[in-house]
Amino acid sequence: MSAAAPPLTVAMSVYNNGPFVDEAIESILDQSFGDFEFLIVNDGSTDESGAVIEDRAARDSRIRVIHQENRGFIASLNRMLAQARSPWIARMDGDDISYPERFAKQMDFLAANPHHGVISCSASLIGPDGEPVTRPPIVRPTTHEGLVANLESGPLLNHNAVIYSREAVLSVGAYRPAYRHAEDYDLWLRLSTVTRMANLPDALVAYRLYPDQVSSRHVVSQARHAAIAWLAHCERLAGRPDPTEGCDTLPPLDKLDAIFGKGSAAYVRRRVIDRTLYSPEAIGGEGYDILIDHIAENGTEPALWRAAARLLKSGRPGKAAGVANALLRAG
């Protein structure tokens, strides 16, 4: 006879998190709420991550390891959802830290608020070596009503700090491959109509910042996919079919007006520019053509001239000249 399922499954996907993964695992094993199974997908890591995970699994029976060829973050999350034995899923990233009271406080909230299917929390910031990082605080709504009222502004729930109902997530189709780099935001939008969501104000996780992490490399794609997720959400709210349902990839910008209606492409471009304008790496790279098209459609703005100056200062004179010429033509 198999053992009874624990109330909580911890789901962590790891890809080349070697310098940080042992500390991440330890922070889970040290939780004051310890009645969980711990699923770890080693998503084809080529560093020491796999060996670290196996060493930890040999010393704690709560850990269940899944080794696979590299399939990507979304596929790994969906695999863990399929294999989880518990009604509640706690997300964790292989480079972050959960503080000891995280699960206890979140599970207490869910027990006291049975109509909620999603609970996240605030996060502190740390650097590569665990040193505190100070940035202006992000104030996130704590109630379902506050979250829903502000969902258009972006993902207001920390994905690496969430506990959610497995049943609720599966009922809306789990993570969708087309929304790579914005898979969490797309999920929150769909969940917002079937369950209640909340944030605890406590910082119960430490989010690690370091060079070349995935979230900083794909900021343009993330912003574009998030904006399309919002358009799809609006279609569903209006009682119309979601045009992106079943898609493996999202449509390009020049197809959006035909799919979602006139002005949709301009809306997505504006969302991308708002998110990336102060990053010369973004607007000088993947976001450059989006910026040029935005200028052609909307004309000049002081902030856009400053973006050209930032491109020049960052050693991208060709891109700076291109933006300046577009602004002169538009002016």
Per-position DSSP letters for 1-52, written without gaps between them: -PPPPPSEEEEEEESS-TTTHHHHHHHHHT-S---EEEEEEEES--STHHHH
The CA radius of gyration of the chain, in Å to the nearest whole number, is: 21
Structure confidence at residue 280 (pLDDT): 92
Structure confidence at residue 313 (pLDDT): 95
Per-residue pLDDT of the chain (331 residues; tens, 9 = 90+): 467 999 999 999 999 999 999 999 999 999 999 999 999 999 999 999 999 999 999 999 999 999 999 999 999 999 999 999 999 999 999 999 999 999 999 999 999 999 999 999 999 999 999 999 998 888 899 999 999 999 999 889 999 999 999 999 999 999 999 999 999 999 999 999 999 999 999 999 999 998 776 666 789 999 999 999 999 999 999 999 999 999 999 999 999 999 999 999 999 999 999 999 999 999 999 999 999 999 999 888 889 999 999 999 999 999 999 999 999 999 7
- 163-165: strand order across its sheet: 63-68, 36-43, 8-14, 88-93, 163-165, 116-126, 196-208, 97-98
pLDDT digits (tens, 9 = 90+) for 185-224: 999 999 999 999 999 999 999 999 987 766 667 899 999 9
Identity at 20, one-letter amino acid code: F
Structure confidence at residue 232 (pLDDT): 99
Are 141 and 156 contacting, i.e. CB atoms less than 8 angstroms apart? yes
pTM, to two decimals: 0.95
* 183: nearest Cα among 172, 196, 174: 174
Outline which parts of the chain fall under CATH 3.90.550.10: 8-213
Structure confidence at residue 216 (pLDDT): 62
C-alpha distances (whole Å) from 110 to each of 30, 119, 155, 199, 271 are 21, 7, 21, 11, 34
The two three-digit tokens of residue 170, written as one number? 């599966």
* 37: nearest Cα among 72, 67, 80, 93: 80
CATH architecture, range 8-213: Alpha-Beta Complex (3.90)
* 94: nearest Cα among 164, 17, 35: 17
Q: What is the DSSP letter of 198?
A: E
Q: What is d(CA 7, CA 42) in angstroms, rounded to the nearest whole number?
A: 23
Q: How far apart are the first and last CA of the chain?
A: 75
Structure confidence at residue 1 (pLDDT): 41
The two three-digit tokens of residue 122, written as one number? 């605030």
The two three-digit tokens of residue 167, written as one number? 């049943």
Structure confidence at residue 211 (pLDDT): 79
Are 199 and 120 contacting, i.e. CB atoms less than 8 angstroms apart? yes
Q: What is the DSSP letter of 153?
A: G
Are 264 and 231 contacting, i.e. CB atoms less than 8 angstroms apart? yes
Strands 63-68, 163-165: parallel, antiparallel or unpaired by DSSP?
unpaired
Strands 8-14, 88-93: parallel, antiparallel or unpaired by DSSP?
parallel
Structure confidence at residue 197 (pLDDT): 99
Q: What is d(CA 4, CA 86) in angstroms, rounded to the nearest whole number?
A: 10
Q: What is the DSSP letter of 132?
A: B
